[in-house]
């Protein structure tokens, strides 16, 4: 309890974002599992929740994470270069993910095979991004 009281802003954000990552991963796996079992209504319910969590997470993280890393006086040039490369390389994937989530979260849009293939591919890429963030970028902020 006292630890969180004395945590820095960046440490609190890292804790929050790590929890959101776990929620995103769980929801994505639930969507895949329910779709695979032909439980499309349940998959859609999880997808709608995933859409809310993911969009909110990405918007806040994109603004705050890179700002904090750039402002951190201990961030060396190698890490700053990694940050820029990472942000730029994920831009198109992030846009694709947001489009898929937004489109298929709509009540009248059916979760079809195209959805499942695209969604599964994006989830695989997203898992790689999450792992990279937590092992490389978050560590810099969580001091």
Query: What pLDDT digit, counting tens, does each position of 38-49 carry?
Result: 999 999 999 999
pLDDT of residue 47: 98
User: Residue 124: inside a domain, yes or no?
Assistant: yes
84 occurs within a structural domain = yes
Q: Is 46 inside a domain boundary?
A: yes
Q: 30-35 contacts: CB < 8 A, separation 24 or more?
A: 31/119, 32/116, 32/119, 32/120, 32/123, 35/111, 35/116
Mean pLDDT of 58-85: 75
pLDDT tens per residue across span 10-47? 788 889 999 999 999 999 999 999 999 999 999 999 99
pLDDT of 143: 62
How many Cα atoms sit within 13 Å of 21 on the Cβ side?
18
The whole-chain average pLDDT of the chain stands at 86
Q: Is residue 129 part of a domain?
A: yes
- Look at the chain and report how many structural domains it folds into: 1
Residue 90 lies in a domain: yes
Of 43-52, 70-79, 89-98, the one with minimum mean pLDDT is 70-79
Quote the domain boundaries for residue 101: 7-141
For the whole model, what pTM was predicted? Answer: 0.85
Task: Tell me if 18 is assigned to some domain.
Answer: yes
Q: How many CA atoms lie within 13 A of 38 on its CB side?
A: 0
- The arithmetic mean of pLDDT across residues 69-90, rounded, is 73
């Amino acid at each position: 309890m006292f630890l969180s009281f004395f945590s820095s802003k960046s440490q609190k954000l890292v804790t929050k974002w790590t929890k959101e990552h776990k929620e995103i991963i769980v929801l994505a796996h639930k969507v895949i599992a329910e779709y695979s079992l032909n439980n499309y209504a349940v998959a859609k319910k999880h997808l709608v929740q995933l859409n809310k969590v993911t969009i909110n997470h990405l918007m806040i993280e994109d603004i705050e994470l890179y700002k904090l890393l750039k402002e951190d006086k201990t961030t060396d040039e190698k890490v700053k270069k990694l940050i820029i490369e990472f942000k730029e390389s994920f831009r198109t994937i992030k846009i694709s993910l947001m489009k898929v989530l937004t489109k298929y979260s709509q009540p009248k849009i059916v979760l079809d095979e195209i959805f499942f293939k695209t969604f599964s591919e994006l989830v695989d890429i997203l898992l790689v991004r999450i792992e990279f963030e937590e092992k490389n970028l978050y560590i810099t902020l969580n001091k």
